Amino acid sequence: MTKANVVLGVSASIAIYKALEVLSILKKRGFNVRVALTKEASKLISPVVFKALTNKDVYIDVMEELDFEGTNITHVALAKWADIFAVVPATANVIAKLANGIADDPVSLIGLATSASKVIAPAMNSSMYLNPITQRNLNILKENGFLIVEPIEGDLACNTRGVGHIALCEDIVDVIESTLYFKHFEDKTVIVTAGPTSEPIDPVRYITNRSSGKMGFAIAKIAHFMGADVRLITGNTCLKTPYGVKRIDIETAEDMLKALKHELSKSKNEVILIMAAAIADFRPSETKDKKIKKKNENGFTLKLKQNPDLTIEIKRFAEKADIPLRIVGFAAETDNLIENAKKKIEKKGLEFIVANDVSRKDIAFGSDKNEVAIIYSNGRIERLEKASKDKIAYEILRRLI
């Protein structure tokens, strides 16, 4: 995915410092960024800070002529240059202007002049946010194609708690990035399983595995970018839920099967199921309801029994309920990678299987990168070179369009 040009509009909210973090995340992700500030915003934070971070002139006065790529009508030049116009933070005032075609400051002026994708992250006191006038203005923006990164509940500058706190910076950048993706999955539900399962031995101990959940979370995020209604069924991980994704937390393989059946039967769209979780093959034959005491010096023998094969179970469930379902499997192997993956694809009737070698320290479990082979039902094997898990996620999803 080639990275794009973002005009970052900044208005005078107490959350203005978040614009600096958003700017820095955008740069890290490879976006080209130019900044426009309202006059009031430039009183809260010096434009010099934004100039230093972008190494470019900052647009702070509508009458000012910045030398910008051969033209001196700054707002027109920036409006044309932008692939994405994002206002972070967006005050009630700038929202009202954008919704009503007022163009008397650099931010609202570019907003009116540009045909770029538009994203805003409102931040304000709860009363201002919940005021029907602000809500009406936000609805006007939504109807006109603006993506609103909804504010969250949190501590507000006026020493209260409530809705109006700016969204998380990572989420804001995710929404900005999502505008670059074609919405191939708009009419699809994508269910992703991720992370390990935890199979309890007693109330304090369990058997688990090394899955971090990163691959499944990346797939859920990118599937949402591509317009899908995404359900992420995950075992224990410390990862942040991707913006816009419905997360269902589970512990055991049996919980995961229940959650899968529940989500599948609720879905009204065609469902694509991506089984990226590392589901325990075995669980303790019995779970003690009290902590097992350390009384026996020779230890004790833990008897295990096999967990159901979730892919086979869910396929059967979907067939019985007449729910159209396409399944992609993952094979985490340490040896005979391709041969083992081929066996799974046949046994489970998968569309394709993504095989990765979990014995390698530089990829797979816990890593931000992966290198996989995609194995199709006709035996064709496609190798994807080592890349970020986001990129691998996109490549997997692209093959399901």
Ligand X SMILES: Cc1cc2nc3c(=O)[nH]c(=O)nc-3n(C[C@H](O)[C@H](O)[C@H](O)COP(=O)(O)O)c2cc1C
Write down the least CB distance from residue 89 to ligand X, Å.
6
Coil/strand/helix, residue 123: coil
Site string for ligand X, 214-253 (x = CB under 6 A): ----------------------------------------
List residues forming the annotated binding site for CTP.
281, 291, 330, 344, 348
Marked catalytic residue, from 45, 158, 207, 323:
158
Catalytic residue list contains 158: yes
Residue for token pair 């600096």:
20
Tell me how far apart the alpha carbons of residues 139 and 144 are, in angstroms, rounded to a whole number.
Answer: 8
The answer to whether 9 touches 111, Cβ cutoff 8 Å, is: yes
Among 12, 141, 274, 350, contact with ligand X (rule: CB under 6 A):
12
Tell me which stretch binds ligand X (CB under 6 A): 11-19, 252-260, 307-315, 389-397: 11-19
Where does residue 99 rank: exposed (0-12), middle (13-18), buried (19+ CB within 10 A)?
buried
The residue range among 12-20, 190-198, 233-241, 335-343 that interacts with ligand X, by the rule CB under 6 A, is 12-20
The interface mask with ligand X, positions 53-92, x = CB under 6 A, is --------------------------------------xx
What CA–CA distance (Å, rounded) separates 349 from 207? 29
Task: Check residue 42 for interaction with ligand X (CB under 6 A).
Answer: no
Site for ligand X in 139-178 (CB under 6 A): 157
* CB 99 to ligand X: min, Å: 13
At its nearest, how many Å lie between ligand X and the CB of residue 129? 8
Q: Does 14 contact ligand X by CB under 6 A?
A: yes
Per CB under 6 A, 393 contacts ligand X: no
Structure tokens at 166: 């700016």
CA nearest to 179, candidates 75, 29, 55? 29
Contact status: 120 vs ligand X (CB under 6 A): no
Contact 156, 123 (CB under 8 A): no
Burial 230-240 (b: 16+ CB within 10 A, else e): bbbbbbebebe
Q: Which residues are annotated as a binding site?
A: 281, 291, 330, 344, 348
Among 4, 6, 7, 11, binds ligand X (CB under 6 A): 11
Of 88, 140, 92, 79, nearest in space to 119 by CA: 88
Q: Which stretch binds ligand X (CB under 6 A): 34-42, 179-187, 239-247, 390-398?
A: 34-42
Round to whole Å and give the CA distance between 204 and 178.
Answer: 41
Residue from 176, 180, 187 nearest 147 by CA: 176
CB atoms within 10 A of CB 246: 15
Within 10 A of 50 (CB to CB), how many other CB atoms are there? 26
Q: Which helix (H) or strand (E) is 192 found in, with range?
A: strand 188-194
How far is it, in rounded angstroms, from Cα 85 to Cα 66? 18
Q: Is 137 in the site for ligand X (CB under 6 A)?
A: no
Residue in 4, 6, 7, 15 binding ligand X, rule: CB under 6 A:
15
> Shortest gap between Cβ of 9 and ligand X (angstroms)?
9
Asked if 128 interacts with ligand X (CB under 6 A), we say yes
Phi then psi dihedrals of residue 289, to 5 deg: -90, -5
Tokens of 379: 């035996």
- State which residue, 139 or 306, has the beta carbon closest to ligand X: 139
Nearer residue to ligand X within complex by CB, 124 or 396: 124
3-state helix, strand, coil in the chain (%, to 5): 35, 25, 40
In the shown chain, the binding pattern of residues 325 to 354 toward ligand X, with x for contact by CB under 6 A and - for none, equals: ------------------------------
Applying CB under 6 A, what is the total number of residues that bind ligand X? 17
**What DSSP letter does each residue of 34-50 carry, written as one string?**
EEEE-TTHHHHS-HHHH
Q: Binding residue for ligand X (CB under 6 A) from 4, 6, 9, 13?
A: 13
CB of 80 to ligand X, least distance (A): 23
Mark the segment that binds ligand X (CB under 6 A) among 17-25, 38-46, 65-73, 203-211: 38-46
229 beta partners = 189
Instruction: Based on the shown chain and the rule CB under 6 A, indicate whether residue 41 belongs to the binding site for ligand X.
Output: yes
Catalytic residues: 158
In the complex, the residues that contact ligand X under the rule CB under 6 A are 11-15, 38, 40-41, 91-94, 105, 123-124, 128, 157
